[in-house]
A and B are shown apart, each in its own frame.
Chain A
């Protein structure tokens, strides 16, 4: 434990740095002062709560509780994926949650078992932070991928319908959209992998080095975690698309208009009687 403690007054000094972006925002009328304050306030409250909870969770280190924590994160991740792509919750939440569970938990368990070789796979110190990193990143991939997929299908509906009219099955007609969605979902992760170490030192590595781990150990963790993230992002995006298709397309192979939350876009589905 070599990192120096950050006292409350020192933390205040860190908050003081925010004066700079706030001043800029005020001076050139960016209108993001409130958003900034709101975001920082939210982060602080959330992290304080998480800090308190995690202290207990780590002390108890109960397998079931740790798992419940991870599942809670999965539900929040699924929820925010759907929210961010402006689709309706009801029918999509369950398939997305199941996709996240299937993709992330299997990668996480594999990681803990074969990469870290843990005796207790549900050990809080590993399960929670590594689960969080894998989930957080596959969440980003899913938001991009699912968003691209459902937006594209809506925008290019004519092409899609034309392909159906030529005798394509739903999967054949959807394949170009699935390809594009996966490419968009994975591109940021790939770019991240390729620039790791040159452009940025990832958070986990920084943390470990601050904690006094050897840089060599830190990079081995980093390499493994990046690969785990890439795999889980791929799996969860594929699972999410494939599992939601069943509820979002009708028996004619057409996307159900009612899954889209209208945000002042087209006025296609007005009030239904």
Chain B
């Protein structure tokens, strides 16, 4: 067995009587790049949330680094995996304060490297003055880029990117995809409808070929 990071085994999730996923299996070894596609509402975001412990699976099993997911392990996942959420309501107040808050969390201390910050900001075409702006006033694409920026700053090597590039222009989409895909050792799980992620090294997975079953 290769270095296995995430493994879904016949996973099903239900919200009340509504079943959104069933019998979903996927093995994600270290360094793998996976692009998940599927209709809106099939449960793509839910897959990420189960791994982070924000939604509970109702069938099957979910493993992280070979261990069955439980509450303690999901706290561990949150320290080791960088997640860019589809929802961009990430906070309020100056962007700078937001970044500082993130770096004040115990697992992220001492990781705020100004040099890296400026490098990533350059790659994401973010102007210096954005740090002083209030997050809630940023444009949709700017909020997304701050989400990506934070994920990059954490210095982790497993990424869950949920529609991380949907509001960016195609030039930027390509640039972001390039920047992520150039790291051979990064494990990337990408939910996106953007063509820019479709590369040779990226495996495409269709989620929920059959329609979700309603009882």
Q: Which residue of A lies closest to B92 (CB)?
A: A159
Whole-angstrom distance between the Cβ of B161 and the nearest chain A Cβ: 12
User: Is the beta-carbon distance between B83 and A165 smaller than 8 angstroms?
Assistant: yes
- What are the interface flags for A145-161 relative to B under an 8 Å C-beta threshold, 1 for contact and 0 otherwise? 00000000000101101
Q: In the bound complex, how far is the Cα of B77 from the Cα of A166, in angstroms?
A: 10
Chain B residues with CB under 8 A of A169: 105-106
The distance from the CB of B191 to the nearest CB of chain A, in whole angstroms, is 15
**A167 in contact with B90 given A161-B54, A252-B54, A252-B71 (CB within 8 Å):** no
Partner pick for A270 among B16, B52, B78, B107, CB 8 A cutoff: B16
- Residues of chain A contacted by B107 (CB below 8 angstroms): 167
Once the chains are docked, how many angstroms separate the CA of A272 from the CA of B91? 32
Which of B53, B79, B85 is A162 in contact with, Cβ under 8 Å? Answer: B85
For B86, the closest partner residue in chain A by CB is A158
- Cβ contact of B90, chosen from A159, A172, A176, A273, cutoff 8 A: A159
Task: Verify B89–A172 contact, CB threshold 8 A.
Answer: no
Task: Flag whether A57 is at the interface (Cβ < 8 A).
Answer: no
**Minimal beta-carbon separation of B16 from chain A (angstroms):** 6
Is A254 within 8 A of B78, CB to CB? no
Q: Chain A contacts of B78 at CB under 8 A?
A: 164-168
Q: Classify chain B's interface size.
A: 20 to 34
Count contacts on A: residues with CB < 8 A to the other chain. Answer: 22
Interface of A is mostly: loop
**How many angstroms between the C-alpha atoms of A147 and B71 in the bound complex?**
28
A-B pairs with beta carbons under 8 A, tally:
63
The digit string for A81-115, where 1 denotes a CB below 8 A from any CB of B, is 00000000000000000000000000000000000
The reply to whether A172 and B105 form a contact with Cβ atoms under 8 Å apart is yes
Q: Closest Cβ of chain A: how far from B104's Cβ, in Å?
A: 7
List which B64-113 residues lie within 8 A (CB) of chain A.
Answer: 71, 74-75, 78-79, 81, 83, 85, 87, 89-91, 101-102, 104-108
B158 at the interface (CB under 8 A from A): no
Interface flag for B28 (CB, 8 Å): no
Question: Is B121 close to A, CB under 8 A?
Answer: no
A270 CA to B154 CA in the complex, in Å? 38
User: For the complex, is A5 an interface residue (Cβ under 8 Å from B)?
Assistant: no
A166 to B75, CA, bound (A): 10
Asked if B87 and A166 sit within 8 Å, CB to CB, the answer is: no
Do B79 and A167 touch across chains, with their CB atoms under 8 A apart?
Answer: yes
Closest to B80 in A: A167
Check A158–B79 contact: CB distance below 8 A: no
B150 on the interface (CB 8 Å rule)? yes
CB distance from A65 to the nearest CB of B (A): 47
CB distance from A167 to the nearest CB of B (A): 4
Question: Can you show 7 pairs from A to B with CB atoms below 8 A apart?
Answer: A158-B85, A158-B87, A161-B52, A162-B85, A163-B101, A167-B107, A252-B74
Q: Other than A156-B89, A168-B105, give 14 A-B pairs with Cβ distance below 8 A.
A: A158-B85, A159-B89, A162-B87, A163-B91, A164-B78, A166-B83, A166-B108, A167-B78, A167-B106, A172-B105, A172-B106, A250-B71, A252-B53, A253-B53
